[in-house]
Chains A and B, each alone.
Chain A
Amino acid sequence: MSTTQVVTSRPTVIEPERTIRRYTLSERIHHWLGAFTYIYCLITGLAFWSPYMYWLATLVGGGPTARFWHPWLGLGFALSMIWMYKMWRGDMATTEADRRWSKAMKHYVENEDEKLPPVGRFNYGQKLFFWLMFYGVILLLISGLGLWFVESIPWSLRWLRYLAVTVHVAAALATIGGFIIHVYMGTAMVRGGFTSIIRGDVTATWARTHHRLWYEQITKGIPPQK
Protein backbone atom coordinates (compact mmCIF):
# COMPACT_ATOMS: atom_id res chain seq x y z
CA MET A 1 0.00 0.00 0.00
CA SER A 2 1.44 3.30 -1.04
CA THR A 3 -0.92 5.39 0.95
CA THR A 4 -2.24 4.96 4.36
CA GLN A 5 -5.86 5.76 4.75
CA VAL A 6 -6.74 7.07 8.11
CA VAL A 7 -10.36 6.82 8.96
CA THR A 8 -11.40 9.05 11.75
CA SER A 9 -14.77 9.17 13.32
CA ARG A 10 -16.14 10.83 16.36
CA PRO A 11 -16.62 8.21 19.02
CA THR A 12 -20.26 7.89 20.01
CA VAL A 13 -20.73 8.55 23.64
CA ILE A 14 -22.86 5.85 25.18
CA GLU A 15 -24.59 6.97 28.28
CA PRO A 16 -24.66 3.91 30.51
CA GLU A 17 -28.30 3.30 31.24
CA ARG A 18 -29.43 2.48 34.71
CA THR A 19 -29.71 -1.27 35.20
CA ILE A 20 -32.10 -3.21 37.35
CA ARG A 21 -31.45 -6.59 38.96
CA ARG A 22 -33.96 -8.97 37.36
CA TYR A 23 -32.67 -12.38 38.41
CA THR A 24 -30.70 -13.19 41.55
CA LEU A 25 -27.65 -15.44 41.36
CA SER A 26 -29.67 -18.30 42.83
CA GLU A 27 -32.37 -17.86 40.20
CA ARG A 28 -29.82 -17.86 37.42
CA ILE A 29 -28.00 -20.93 38.78
CA HIS A 30 -31.20 -22.91 39.02
CA HIS A 31 -32.39 -21.78 35.62
CA TRP A 32 -29.14 -22.99 34.05
CA LEU A 33 -29.13 -26.20 36.07
CA GLY A 34 -32.56 -26.87 34.64
CA ALA A 35 -31.47 -25.81 31.16
CA PHE A 36 -28.40 -28.05 31.13
CA THR A 37 -30.19 -31.12 32.45
CA TYR A 38 -33.19 -30.57 30.18
CA ILE A 39 -31.03 -30.17 27.08
CA TYR A 40 -29.12 -33.33 27.96
CA CYS A 41 -32.37 -35.24 28.34
CA LEU A 42 -33.64 -33.68 25.11
CA ILE A 43 -30.60 -34.76 23.08
CA THR A 44 -30.53 -38.29 24.47
CA GLY A 45 -34.31 -38.58 24.44
CA LEU A 46 -34.43 -37.64 20.76
CA ALA A 47 -31.78 -40.28 20.12
CA PHE A 48 -34.05 -42.91 21.68
CA TRP A 49 -37.08 -41.44 19.93
CA SER A 50 -36.09 -41.93 16.32
CA PRO A 51 -33.46 -44.03 14.51
CA TYR A 52 -32.82 -40.98 12.33
CA MET A 53 -31.72 -39.07 15.42
CA TYR A 54 -29.84 -41.95 17.08
CA TRP A 55 -26.59 -40.28 16.01
CA LEU A 56 -27.28 -37.65 18.68
CA ALA A 57 -26.32 -40.30 21.25
CA THR A 58 -22.83 -40.33 19.73
CA LEU A 59 -22.41 -36.69 20.75
CA VAL A 60 -22.77 -37.63 24.40
CA GLY A 61 -20.71 -40.79 24.47
CA GLY A 62 -22.81 -43.38 22.64
CA GLY A 63 -26.08 -45.21 23.22
CA PRO A 64 -25.32 -47.07 26.47
CA THR A 65 -23.79 -43.97 28.08
CA ALA A 66 -26.72 -41.85 26.97
CA ARG A 67 -29.12 -44.44 28.35
CA PHE A 68 -27.25 -44.55 31.65
CA TRP A 69 -27.25 -40.80 32.26
CA HIS A 70 -30.65 -39.86 30.81
CA PRO A 71 -32.66 -40.87 33.90
CA TRP A 72 -30.13 -39.41 36.34
CA LEU A 73 -30.02 -36.05 34.61
CA GLY A 74 -33.79 -36.27 34.37
CA LEU A 75 -33.83 -36.48 38.15
CA GLY A 76 -31.51 -33.47 38.19
CA PHE A 77 -33.97 -31.56 36.02
CA ALA A 78 -36.80 -32.49 38.36
CA LEU A 79 -34.76 -31.22 41.33
CA SER A 80 -33.99 -27.93 39.59
CA MET A 81 -37.70 -27.64 38.81
CA ILE A 82 -38.59 -28.13 42.47
CA TRP A 83 -36.21 -25.31 43.29
CA MET A 84 -37.62 -23.06 40.58
CA TYR A 85 -41.08 -23.82 41.89
CA LYS A 86 -40.04 -22.74 45.38
CA MET A 87 -38.52 -19.54 44.01
CA TRP A 88 -41.14 -18.55 41.49
CA ARG A 89 -44.50 -20.04 42.34
CA GLY A 90 -45.64 -16.72 43.84
CA ASP A 91 -44.51 -14.78 40.78
CA MET A 92 -46.13 -17.33 38.47
CA ALA A 93 -49.70 -17.02 39.75
CA THR A 94 -52.08 -15.62 37.14
CA THR A 95 -53.26 -12.08 37.90
CA GLU A 96 -55.94 -9.75 36.54
CA ALA A 97 -53.19 -7.99 34.58
CA ASP A 98 -52.30 -11.31 32.95
CA ARG A 99 -55.89 -11.87 31.91
CA ARG A 100 -55.99 -8.47 30.25
CA TRP A 101 -52.59 -9.10 28.65
CA SER A 102 -53.54 -12.53 27.36
CA LYS A 103 -56.55 -11.05 25.56
CA ALA A 104 -54.16 -8.71 23.75
CA MET A 105 -51.46 -11.33 23.15
CA LYS A 106 -51.80 -10.86 19.38
CA HIS A 107 -50.11 -7.47 19.77
CA TYR A 108 -47.25 -9.10 21.67
CA VAL A 109 -46.71 -11.66 18.93
CA GLU A 110 -46.75 -8.93 16.29
CA ASN A 111 -44.34 -6.71 18.23
CA GLU A 112 -46.92 -3.99 18.87
CA ASP A 113 -45.94 -3.78 22.50
CA GLU A 114 -47.24 -0.22 22.86
CA LYS A 115 -50.78 -1.61 22.54
CA LEU A 116 -50.31 -4.08 25.41
CA PRO A 117 -51.63 -3.61 28.92
CA PRO A 118 -48.83 -3.55 31.52
CA VAL A 119 -47.77 -6.76 33.28
CA GLY A 120 -45.79 -7.72 36.37
CA ARG A 121 -42.49 -9.53 36.74
CA PHE A 122 -43.52 -12.28 34.32
CA ASN A 123 -46.01 -12.06 31.51
CA TYR A 124 -48.74 -14.60 30.89
CA GLY A 125 -46.71 -16.45 28.25
CA GLN A 126 -43.80 -16.93 30.62
CA LYS A 127 -46.19 -18.17 33.25
CA LEU A 128 -47.73 -20.65 30.81
CA PHE A 129 -44.26 -21.94 29.98
CA PHE A 130 -43.38 -22.29 33.65
CA TRP A 131 -46.49 -24.32 34.44
CA LEU A 132 -46.08 -26.38 31.27
CA MET A 133 -42.59 -27.37 32.39
CA PHE A 134 -43.72 -27.84 36.00
CA TYR A 135 -46.55 -30.24 35.20
CA GLY A 136 -44.52 -31.70 32.33
CA VAL A 137 -41.68 -32.70 34.63
CA ILE A 138 -44.08 -34.30 37.10
CA LEU A 139 -45.46 -36.50 34.30
CA LEU A 140 -41.99 -37.15 32.88
CA LEU A 141 -40.68 -38.13 36.31
CA ILE A 142 -43.48 -40.57 37.14
CA SER A 143 -43.60 -42.15 33.67
CA GLY A 144 -39.80 -42.09 33.51
CA LEU A 145 -39.59 -44.18 36.67
CA GLY A 146 -41.92 -46.65 34.96
CA LEU A 147 -39.59 -46.84 31.96
CA TRP A 148 -36.48 -46.97 34.15
CA PHE A 149 -37.74 -49.87 36.24
CA VAL A 150 -40.02 -51.43 33.64
CA GLU A 151 -39.29 -54.98 34.83
CA SER A 152 -40.52 -54.05 38.30
CA ILE A 153 -43.99 -53.45 36.88
CA PRO A 154 -45.59 -56.91 37.12
CA TRP A 155 -46.90 -58.56 33.98
CA SER A 156 -50.44 -58.44 35.35
CA LEU A 157 -50.15 -54.63 35.47
CA ARG A 158 -48.47 -54.35 32.08
CA TRP A 159 -50.92 -51.65 31.01
CA LEU A 160 -48.80 -49.45 33.28
CA ARG A 161 -45.77 -50.16 31.06
CA TYR A 162 -47.72 -48.97 28.05
CA LEU A 163 -49.11 -45.98 29.93
CA ALA A 164 -45.58 -44.98 30.97
CA VAL A 165 -44.43 -44.96 27.33
CA THR A 166 -47.45 -42.93 26.23
CA VAL A 167 -47.21 -40.35 29.01
CA HIS A 168 -43.43 -39.97 28.66
CA VAL A 169 -43.69 -39.34 24.92
CA ALA A 170 -46.66 -36.98 25.18
CA ALA A 171 -45.17 -34.97 28.05
CA ALA A 172 -41.77 -34.79 26.34
CA LEU A 173 -43.30 -33.49 23.10
CA ALA A 174 -45.33 -30.90 25.00
CA THR A 175 -42.24 -29.61 26.82
CA ILE A 176 -40.24 -29.58 23.57
CA GLY A 177 -42.90 -27.33 22.05
CA GLY A 178 -42.56 -24.96 24.99
CA PHE A 179 -38.77 -25.25 24.91
CA ILE A 180 -38.52 -24.23 21.25
CA ILE A 181 -40.62 -21.11 21.87
CA HIS A 182 -38.80 -20.36 25.13
CA VAL A 183 -35.33 -20.53 23.56
CA TYR A 184 -36.42 -18.51 20.54
CA MET A 185 -37.97 -15.78 22.66
CA GLY A 186 -35.17 -15.75 25.19
CA THR A 187 -32.40 -15.45 22.65
CA ALA A 188 -33.57 -14.06 19.30
CA MET A 189 -36.92 -12.40 19.89
CA VAL A 190 -36.83 -10.53 23.18
CA ARG A 191 -33.49 -8.76 23.08
CA GLY A 192 -32.01 -8.30 26.51
CA GLY A 193 -33.69 -11.39 27.91
CA PHE A 194 -30.75 -13.71 27.34
CA THR A 195 -28.31 -11.29 28.97
CA SER A 196 -30.63 -10.92 31.93
CA ILE A 197 -30.69 -14.65 32.70
CA ILE A 198 -26.88 -14.77 32.44
CA ARG A 199 -25.78 -11.55 34.13
CA GLY A 200 -28.99 -10.89 36.02
CA ASP A 201 -29.53 -7.30 34.93
CA VAL A 202 -31.83 -5.48 32.53
CA THR A 203 -31.97 -1.82 31.60
CA ALA A 204 -34.65 0.39 33.06
CA THR A 205 -36.10 0.85 29.58
CA TRP A 206 -36.32 -2.91 29.14
CA ALA A 207 -38.07 -3.32 32.46
CA ARG A 208 -40.44 -0.43 31.75
CA THR A 209 -41.33 -1.75 28.30
CA HIS A 210 -41.81 -5.42 29.06
CA HIS A 211 -42.79 -5.55 32.69
CA ARG A 212 -44.23 -2.13 33.57
CA LEU A 213 -45.96 -3.14 36.78
CA TRP A 214 -42.85 -4.90 38.08
CA TYR A 215 -40.77 -1.85 37.15
CA GLU A 216 -43.09 0.48 39.00
CA GLN A 217 -43.20 -1.85 41.92
CA ILE A 218 -39.45 -1.93 42.41
CA THR A 219 -38.73 1.69 41.50
CA LYS A 220 -41.67 3.44 43.14
CA GLY A 221 -42.62 0.90 45.72
CA ILE A 222 -46.08 0.34 44.25
CA PRO A 223 -47.41 -3.00 45.45
CA PRO A 224 -48.08 -5.63 42.75
CA GLN A 225 -51.52 -5.59 41.23
CA LYS A 226 -53.66 -8.62 41.77
Chain B
Amino acid sequence: MSQATLAIHRISGHAGPAPGEDVERGTQVCKLVDTTTCIGCKACEVACLEWNGYTFTDTVFDNSYQTMPETAWNFWNLIKFNEHEREDGSITLLMRKDQCMHCADPGCLAACPADGAIVQYANGIVDFQQANCIGCGYCVSGCPFDIPKFNPATKKMFKCTLCSDRVSEGLEPACIKSCPTGCLHFGTKEDMKDLAETRATQLHENFGFEKAGVYDPAGVGGTGVIYVLHDATDPESYGGLPKDPRVPWVVRFWKGPAKWIGNLAMLGGIVGVTLHYLRFGPKEVDATRRENGRQP
Protein backbone atom coordinates (compact mmCIF):
# COMPACT_ATOMS: atom_id res chain seq x y z
CA MET B 1 0.00 0.00 0.00
CA SER B 2 2.72 2.45 0.93
CA GLN B 3 4.67 1.35 -2.11
CA ALA B 4 1.59 1.89 -4.28
CA THR B 5 3.51 3.97 -6.76
CA LEU B 6 5.87 1.04 -7.31
CA ALA B 7 3.06 -1.39 -8.14
CA ILE B 8 3.62 -3.00 -11.54
CA HIS B 9 1.54 -1.36 -14.22
CA ARG B 10 3.14 -2.95 -17.32
CA ILE B 11 6.47 -4.49 -18.26
CA SER B 12 8.35 -4.85 -21.54
CA GLY B 13 8.94 -7.96 -23.59
CA HIS B 14 6.56 -10.07 -21.62
CA ALA B 15 4.15 -12.63 -23.01
CA GLY B 16 0.76 -12.31 -21.38
CA PRO B 17 -0.23 -10.16 -18.39
CA ALA B 18 2.61 -8.84 -16.31
CA PRO B 19 2.97 -10.61 -12.97
CA GLY B 20 1.46 -8.44 -10.26
CA GLU B 21 -0.27 -6.17 -12.77
CA ASP B 22 -3.26 -4.37 -11.24
CA VAL B 23 -3.48 -6.69 -8.24
CA GLU B 24 -3.32 -3.74 -5.94
CA ARG B 25 -6.97 -3.12 -5.17
CA GLY B 26 -6.69 0.12 -3.33
CA THR B 27 -4.27 2.61 -1.90
CA GLN B 28 -6.51 3.97 0.85
CA VAL B 29 -5.58 2.60 4.26
CA CYS B 30 -8.12 2.13 7.00
CA LYS B 31 -8.38 1.13 10.63
CA LEU B 32 -11.38 -0.97 11.62
CA VAL B 33 -12.50 -0.81 15.25
CA ASP B 34 -15.01 -3.50 16.18
CA THR B 35 -16.55 -2.10 19.37
CA THR B 36 -18.44 -5.39 19.89
CA THR B 37 -15.24 -7.30 20.63
CA CYS B 38 -13.34 -4.56 22.48
CA ILE B 39 -12.73 -5.50 26.14
CA GLY B 40 -11.43 -2.08 27.18
CA CYS B 41 -7.98 -3.33 28.13
CA LYS B 42 -6.29 -0.09 26.96
CA ALA B 43 -3.39 -1.98 25.38
CA CYS B 44 -3.81 0.29 22.35
CA GLU B 45 -3.40 3.34 24.59
CA VAL B 46 -0.11 1.96 25.92
CA ALA B 47 1.15 0.90 22.49
CA CYS B 48 0.37 4.35 21.09
CA LEU B 49 2.31 6.07 23.88
CA GLU B 50 5.22 3.65 23.57
CA TRP B 51 5.58 3.90 19.82
CA ASN B 52 5.30 7.66 19.80
CA GLY B 53 7.65 8.13 22.74
CA TYR B 54 5.24 9.56 25.28
CA THR B 55 4.55 8.44 28.85
CA PHE B 56 1.28 8.20 30.73
CA THR B 57 0.34 11.33 32.56
CA ASP B 58 -1.56 11.29 35.85
CA THR B 59 -4.78 9.33 35.76
CA VAL B 60 -8.07 10.41 37.28
CA PHE B 61 -10.66 8.34 39.08
CA ASP B 62 -14.36 9.08 38.67
CA ASN B 63 -15.84 5.71 39.66
CA SER B 64 -15.56 4.39 36.13
CA TYR B 65 -13.01 2.79 33.86
CA GLN B 66 -12.39 6.24 32.37
CA THR B 67 -9.02 6.86 34.02
CA MET B 68 -7.97 9.32 31.31
CA PRO B 69 -10.71 11.87 30.66
CA GLU B 70 -9.80 12.87 27.13
CA THR B 71 -7.11 12.77 24.48
CA ALA B 72 -4.25 15.23 24.82
CA TRP B 73 -1.41 16.54 22.68
CA ASN B 74 0.73 13.68 24.01
CA PHE B 75 -2.09 11.13 24.33
CA TRP B 76 -3.70 10.37 21.01
CA ASN B 77 -5.55 7.14 21.61
CA LEU B 78 -8.26 6.81 24.25
CA ILE B 79 -10.85 4.18 25.04
CA LYS B 80 -14.08 5.97 25.88
CA PHE B 81 -16.24 4.07 28.35
CA ASN B 82 -19.95 4.56 28.65
CA GLU B 83 -22.23 2.70 31.03
CA HIS B 84 -25.18 2.65 28.70
CA GLU B 85 -28.68 1.84 29.83
CA ARG B 86 -30.54 -0.38 27.41
CA GLU B 87 -34.24 0.07 26.67
CA ASP B 88 -35.10 -2.77 29.08
CA GLY B 89 -33.22 -1.02 31.89
CA SER B 90 -30.19 -3.31 31.93
CA ILE B 91 -26.69 -1.86 31.74
CA THR B 92 -24.06 -2.47 29.10
CA LEU B 93 -20.57 -1.07 28.91
CA LEU B 94 -19.92 0.56 25.55
CA MET B 95 -16.26 1.00 24.75
CA ARG B 96 -14.86 2.86 21.80
CA LYS B 97 -11.30 3.57 20.83
CA ASP B 98 -11.22 7.31 20.15
CA GLN B 99 -8.55 8.90 17.96
CA CYS B 100 -8.21 10.96 14.80
CA MET B 101 -10.66 9.65 12.22
CA HIS B 102 -8.50 10.58 9.20
CA CYS B 103 -11.45 12.02 7.29
CA ALA B 104 -11.41 11.90 3.50
CA ASP B 105 -12.57 15.52 3.69
CA PRO B 106 -10.61 16.80 6.70
CA GLY B 107 -12.00 19.89 8.43
CA CYS B 108 -8.65 20.55 10.14
CA LEU B 109 -6.93 20.80 6.77
CA ALA B 110 -9.65 23.09 5.41
CA ALA B 111 -9.30 25.43 8.39
CA CYS B 112 -5.48 25.47 8.58
CA PRO B 113 -3.83 28.74 7.42
CA ALA B 114 -0.20 27.55 7.59
CA ASP B 115 1.42 26.40 4.37
CA GLY B 116 1.94 22.63 4.54
CA ALA B 117 1.15 22.22 8.25
CA ILE B 118 -1.49 19.57 7.54
CA VAL B 119 -1.05 17.04 4.76
CA GLN B 120 -3.27 14.29 3.46
CA TYR B 121 -1.25 11.51 1.93
CA ALA B 122 -2.45 9.58 -1.11
CA ASN B 123 -3.11 6.64 1.23
CA GLY B 124 -5.64 8.78 3.13
CA ILE B 125 -3.61 9.48 6.28
CA VAL B 126 -4.09 13.03 7.53
CA ASP B 127 -0.88 14.12 9.23
CA PHE B 128 0.29 17.25 11.04
CA GLN B 129 3.70 18.61 10.05
CA GLN B 130 4.78 20.37 13.21
CA ALA B 131 7.66 22.06 11.39
CA ASN B 132 5.11 24.10 9.46
CA CYS B 133 2.52 24.43 12.22
CA ILE B 134 2.09 27.90 13.73
CA GLY B 135 -0.10 26.74 16.61
CA CYS B 136 -3.07 28.95 15.78
CA GLY B 137 -5.65 26.29 16.70
CA TYR B 138 -7.85 26.84 13.65
CA CYS B 139 -7.84 23.04 13.19
CA VAL B 140 -9.60 22.77 16.55
CA SER B 141 -12.50 24.73 15.10
CA GLY B 142 -12.41 22.78 11.84
CA CYS B 143 -12.45 19.27 13.34
CA PRO B 144 -15.90 17.66 13.76
CA PHE B 145 -14.44 15.13 16.24
CA ASP B 146 -12.58 17.50 18.61
CA ILE B 147 -9.23 15.80 18.01
CA PRO B 148 -6.34 18.28 17.47
CA LYS B 149 -4.61 19.28 20.70
CA PHE B 150 -2.19 22.11 21.48
CA ASN B 151 1.19 21.57 23.09
CA PRO B 152 1.73 24.73 25.13
CA ALA B 153 5.48 24.16 25.38
CA THR B 154 6.23 23.91 21.67
CA LYS B 155 3.11 25.81 20.54
CA LYS B 156 2.33 23.14 17.95
CA MET B 157 -0.73 20.98 17.36
CA PHE B 158 -0.62 17.21 17.72
CA LYS B 159 -2.86 14.25 17.02
CA CYS B 160 -2.83 10.59 15.94
CA THR B 161 -0.68 10.10 12.84
CA LEU B 162 -2.24 6.71 12.04
CA CYS B 163 1.39 5.66 12.55
CA SER B 164 2.31 7.13 9.16
CA ASP B 165 5.92 6.32 10.05
CA ARG B 166 5.08 2.62 10.52
CA VAL B 167 2.64 2.42 7.63
CA SER B 168 5.21 3.89 5.24
CA GLU B 169 7.47 0.96 6.20
CA GLY B 170 4.75 -1.58 5.55
CA LEU B 171 3.88 -2.06 9.23
CA GLU B 172 0.46 -1.80 10.82
CA PRO B 173 -0.21 0.99 13.34
CA ALA B 174 1.00 0.35 16.91
CA CYS B 175 -2.53 0.21 18.35
CA ILE B 176 -3.53 -2.52 15.87
CA LYS B 177 -0.41 -4.51 16.72
CA SER B 178 -1.21 -4.48 20.43
CA CYS B 179 -4.89 -5.48 20.36
CA PRO B 180 -5.32 -8.83 22.17
CA THR B 181 -8.88 -9.55 21.04
CA GLY B 182 -8.44 -8.75 17.39
CA CYS B 183 -11.10 -6.07 17.53
CA LEU B 184 -8.66 -3.80 15.66
CA HIS B 185 -7.89 -4.43 12.03
CA PHE B 186 -5.82 -2.58 9.49
CA GLY B 187 -5.82 -2.82 5.70
CA THR B 188 -7.22 -1.16 2.63
CA LYS B 189 -10.40 0.83 3.03
CA GLU B 190 -12.15 -1.59 0.71
CA ASP B 191 -11.12 -4.65 2.71
CA MET B 192 -11.97 -3.05 6.04
CA LYS B 193 -15.40 -2.03 4.74
CA ASP B 194 -16.04 -5.61 3.63
CA LEU B 195 -14.87 -7.01 6.94
CA ALA B 196 -16.99 -4.50 8.85
CA GLU B 197 -20.10 -5.25 6.80
CA THR B 198 -19.55 -8.98 7.28
CA ARG B 199 -19.27 -8.50 11.03
CA ALA B 200 -22.37 -6.29 11.10
CA THR B 201 -24.33 -8.94 9.20
CA GLN B 202 -23.09 -11.57 11.66
CA LEU B 203 -24.29 -9.39 14.55
CA HIS B 204 -27.70 -9.07 12.89
CA GLU B 205 -28.17 -12.69 12.02
CA ASN B 206 -26.44 -14.59 14.79
CA PHE B 207 -26.47 -12.34 17.83
CA GLY B 208 -29.73 -10.44 17.59
CA PHE B 209 -28.25 -6.97 17.27
CA GLU B 210 -30.97 -5.61 15.00
CA LYS B 211 -29.41 -2.18 14.71
CA ALA B 212 -25.79 -3.27 14.30
CA GLY B 213 -23.98 -1.43 11.55
CA VAL B 214 -20.85 0.25 10.25
CA TYR B 215 -19.86 3.83 11.08
CA ASP B 216 -18.18 5.45 8.08
CA PRO B 217 -19.74 8.92 8.04
CA ALA B 218 -20.46 10.25 4.56
CA GLY B 219 -20.63 13.85 5.80
CA VAL B 220 -16.83 14.00 5.87
CA GLY B 221 -16.41 11.85 2.77
CA GLY B 222 -15.91 8.67 4.79
CA THR B 223 -13.16 8.14 7.34
CA GLY B 224 -9.86 6.31 7.60
CA VAL B 225 -11.08 4.83 10.88
CA ILE B 226 -14.37 2.95 10.76
CA TYR B 227 -16.37 1.35 13.55
CA VAL B 228 -18.66 -1.64 13.90
CA LEU B 229 -21.33 -0.62 16.41
CA HIS B 230 -23.96 -2.76 18.15
CA ASP B 231 -26.36 0.10 17.56
CA ALA B 232 -25.39 2.16 14.54
CA THR B 233 -28.49 4.34 14.98
CA ASP B 234 -27.08 5.79 18.20
CA PRO B 235 -23.35 6.50 17.75
CA GLU B 236 -23.59 9.34 20.29
CA SER B 237 -23.79 6.83 23.13
CA TYR B 238 -20.33 5.56 22.20
CA GLY B 239 -18.52 8.36 24.00
CA GLY B 240 -20.08 11.09 21.88
CA LEU B 241 -19.38 9.79 18.38
CA PRO B 242 -21.24 12.36 16.23
CA LYS B 243 -24.21 11.00 14.31
CA ASP B 244 -23.64 13.04 11.18
CA PRO B 245 -20.23 14.73 11.43
CA ARG B 246 -19.55 17.48 8.93
CA VAL B 247 -16.97 20.19 8.56
CA PRO B 248 -18.74 23.12 10.30
CA TRP B 249 -20.52 25.28 7.75
CA VAL B 250 -18.94 28.34 9.37
CA VAL B 251 -15.50 26.95 8.52
CA ARG B 252 -16.64 26.21 4.97
CA PHE B 253 -18.00 29.74 4.59
CA TRP B 254 -14.95 31.30 6.22
CA LYS B 255 -12.54 29.47 3.94
CA GLY B 256 -14.75 29.79 0.85
CA PRO B 257 -17.16 32.61 0.01
CA ALA B 258 -16.10 34.84 2.93
CA LYS B 259 -12.58 34.97 1.56
CA TRP B 260 -13.78 36.15 -1.82
CA ILE B 261 -16.21 38.66 -0.36
CA GLY B 262 -13.56 39.97 2.03
CA ASN B 263 -10.79 40.17 -0.55
CA LEU B 264 -13.03 41.92 -3.06
CA ALA B 265 -14.17 44.36 -0.39
CA MET B 266 -10.57 45.18 0.62
CA LEU B 267 -9.52 45.52 -3.00
CA GLY B 268 -12.61 47.65 -3.65
CA GLY B 269 -11.61 49.95 -0.81
CA ILE B 270 -8.11 50.47 -2.17
CA VAL B 271 -9.36 50.97 -5.73
CA GLY B 272 -12.08 53.28 -4.43
CA VAL B 273 -9.76 55.67 -2.60
CA THR B 274 -7.32 55.65 -5.53
CA LEU B 275 -10.11 56.60 -7.95
CA HIS B 276 -11.25 59.29 -5.54
CA TYR B 277 -7.79 60.80 -5.50
CA LEU B 278 -7.52 60.72 -9.28
CA ARG B 279 -10.95 62.31 -9.69
CA PHE B 280 -11.03 64.86 -6.86
CA GLY B 281 -7.44 65.17 -5.62
CA PRO B 282 -6.36 66.45 -2.23
CA LYS B 283 -7.94 69.04 0.02
CA GLU B 284 -5.24 71.70 0.06
CA VAL B 285 -5.99 74.67 2.24
CA ASP B 286 -2.67 76.22 3.16
CA ALA B 287 -2.32 78.93 0.54
CA THR B 288 1.36 79.68 1.10
CA ARG B 289 2.32 76.08 0.68
CA ARG B 290 0.14 75.70 -2.39
CA GLU B 291 1.75 78.71 -4.05
CA ASN B 292 5.22 77.40 -3.40
CA GLY B 293 4.35 73.99 -4.74
CA ARG B 294 5.13 72.39 -1.44
CA GLN B 295 3.12 69.55 -0.11
CA PRO B 296 2.97 69.38 3.62
Binding site for B on A (CB under 8 A): 12, 14-15, 17, 47-51, 54, 57, 63-64, 66-68, 109-111, 113, 147-148, 150-151, 155, 158, 161-166, 169, 173, 176-177, 180-181, 184, 188-192, 194-195, 203, 205-206, 209-210
**Segment at the interface with A among B94-102, B181-189, B259-267:** B259-267
Q: Are B269 and A162 in contact (CB under 8 A)?
A: no
Which residue on chain B has the smallest CB distance to residue A108? B283
Q: Are B262 and A173 in contact (CB under 8 A)?
A: yes
Q: Are A151 and B137 in contact (CB under 8 A)?
A: yes
Contacts of A48 in B (CB 8 A): 113, 134, 136, 138
Q: How far is the CA of A63 from the CA of B129 in the complex (A)?
A: 14
Q: Are A165 and B254 in contact (CB under 8 A)?
A: yes
Of A12, A66, A169, A203, the residue contacting B134 (CB under 8 A) is: A66
Of B137, B258, B276, B284, the residue contacting A191 (CB under 8 A) is: B284
Q: Are A14 and B288 in contact (CB under 8 A)?
A: yes
Number of cross-chain contacts by CB at 8 Å:
129
Q: Are B285 and A111 in contact (CB under 8 A)?
A: no
CB contact under 8 A between A177 and B269, given known A188-B282, A191-B283, A192-B296: yes
Q: Are A12 and B282 in contact (CB under 8 A)?
A: no
Q: Are A189 and B276 in contact (CB under 8 A)?
A: yes
Chain B nearest CB, measured from A85 CB (Å): 25
* Overall SS of chain A's interface: helix
Which residue on chain B has the smallest CB distance to residue A111? B280
Q: Are A165 and B113 in contact (CB under 8 A)?
A: no
- B153 CB-CB contact with A under 8 Å: no
Q: Are A67 and B135 in contact (CB under 8 A)?
A: yes
Of A15, A162, A180, A188, the residue contacting B277 (CB under 8 A) is: A188
Q: Are B137 and A147 in contact (CB under 8 A)?
A: yes
Q: How far is the CA of A162 from the CA of B258 in the complex (A)?
A: 14
Q: How far is the CA of A195 from the CA of B286 in the complex (A)?
A: 13
Contacts of A64 in B (CB 8 A): 133-135, 155
Chain B nearest CB, measured from A10 CB (Å): 13
Given A150-B137, A169-B258, 15 additional A-B pairs, CB 8 A? A12-B292, A48-B138, A57-B134, A64-B155, A109-B276, A111-B280, A150-B140, A161-B140, A162-B141, A162-B248, A165-B138, A165-B250, A173-B266, A191-B282, A206-B286
The 6 closest A-B pairs by CB, nearest first: A63-B134, A184-B273, A162-B250, A180-B269, A67-B134, A209-B285
Contacts of A192 in B (CB 8 A): 285-286, 296
Contacts of A12 in B (CB 8 A): 291-292
Q: Are A51 and B273 in contact (CB under 8 A)?
A: no
Q: Which of B113, B133, B149 has the most CB of A within 10 A?
A: B113
Binding site for A on B (CB under 8 A): 113-115, 132-138, 140-141, 146, 149-150, 155, 240, 248, 250-251, 254, 258-259, 262-263, 265-266, 269-270, 273, 276-277, 280-289, 291-292, 295-296
List, sorted by A's number, 29 A–B pairs whose CB atoms are closer than 8 Å. A14-B292, A63-B132, A63-B134, A64-B135, A64-B155, A66-B134, A67-B135, A67-B136, A111-B283, A113-B283, A147-B136, A148-B137, A155-B240, A158-B146, A162-B250, A165-B141, A165-B254, A173-B266, A176-B269, A184-B276, A189-B273, A190-B283, A191-B284, A191-B285, A191-B295, A192-B285, A192-B296, A203-B285, A210-B285
CB contact under 8 A between A109 and B280, given known A50-B263, A66-B134: yes
Q: How far is the CA of A151 from the CA of B114 in the complex (A)?
A: 19
CB contact under 8 A between A205 and B250, given known A161-B140, A177-B265, A189-B277: no
Q: How far is the CA of A10 from the CA of B17 in the complex (A)?
A: 98
Of B113, B251, B265, B284, the residue contacting A54 (CB under 8 A) is: B113
Q: How far is the CA of A192 from the CA of B290 in the complex (A)?
A: 12
Q: How far is the CA of A16 from the CA of B292 in the complex (A)?
A: 13
Q: Are A180 and B282 in contact (CB under 8 A)?
A: no
Q: How far is the CA of A57 from the CA of B270 in the complex (A)?
A: 21
Contacts of B262 in A (CB 8 A): 49, 169, 173
